[in-house]
Amino acid sequence: MDRMIHTALNSMRNLAELQKVNAQNLTNMTVPGFRKDLWGQSGTGYLQAGDTPTTRAFALTTGESEFSNQHGVMDPTGIETDVAILDDGWFLVQPPDGSPPALSRRGDLSLNADGILINGSNETVLSDGLAPIQIPPYREIQITQLGEILINPLAAEVGQFVSVGFIGTTTAAGVELRKGEDARIRAVDGTIPAPDQLAHLQQGMLEGSNVNAVEELVYTIELQRRFEMSVKFIESARQIDQAAAQIMRIAQE
């Protein structure tokens, strides 16, 4: 009976991991540009009995998370600092905790107190030279499809625009991407692809999360039912074990 219980407990552990991924998706369903998490890479570990592996196997996760790269819904906002990537591509950002640069689809941009361009996660948006973008005070700002930032400075005449740099973007063509333990997207080796400025941007729009709320809620119910089935499986194993023990006692009497 211990094999039945082991199988059920291992299943419950896997379901718990799936529930974490599901909860993460539901939590971030309103975050602009969020990419839905999928079940991560996994392997198999075997319980050792001396020097001989047994049939008891455990699922082992590597910590590297797969994600869905399906595009989210494009929402016109009319806000001049909102920017969406219309095709395949990524913004280059520097996390505020000092960790290595990462990729992002989040385009709700603004300026911090120092005039540095940041997104809604307080990540610094990097230029095509992988440097922070500092923008002086302006009357109006325009962001072209190539990511060039044009402003009408306060000291200039109305309608006179100057360039203050390019928002760094990359299509990451041919590069395998993963979500790390900090939930940020990078190449498998932990680096980011070089800027290529091939992504097409649209000012005044935001890309929403690609999480489908209905699908995730239905999946939540399905995971709960699977968990309940595993609990019932353990209870059945216990009852069978008790019945077998009772029969053995009767046979000995």
Quote the CA–CA distance of 111 and 199 in Å, as a whole number.
22
Q: Crossing angle of helices 2-27/213-252, nearest 10°?
A: 160
| Cα distances (angstroms) measured from residue 203 to each of 81, 150, 182 | 7, 12, 29
Contact 28, 209 (CB under 8 A): yes
Other Cβ atoms closer than 10 A to 131: 12
User: What is residue 196's three-state secondary structure?
Assistant: coil
Q: Kind and range of the H or E element at 156? A: none
pLDDT tens, position by position, 162-209: 999 999 999 999 999 999 888 899 999 999 999 999 999 999 999 999
In the three-class reduction of DSSP (H, G, I as helix; E, B as strand; rest coil), residue 37 is classed as strand
* Arithmetic mean of pLDDT over the chain: 84
Give the residues of the chain that fall short of pLDDT 70: 1-12, 15, 40-65, 233-234, 237-245, 248, 250-253
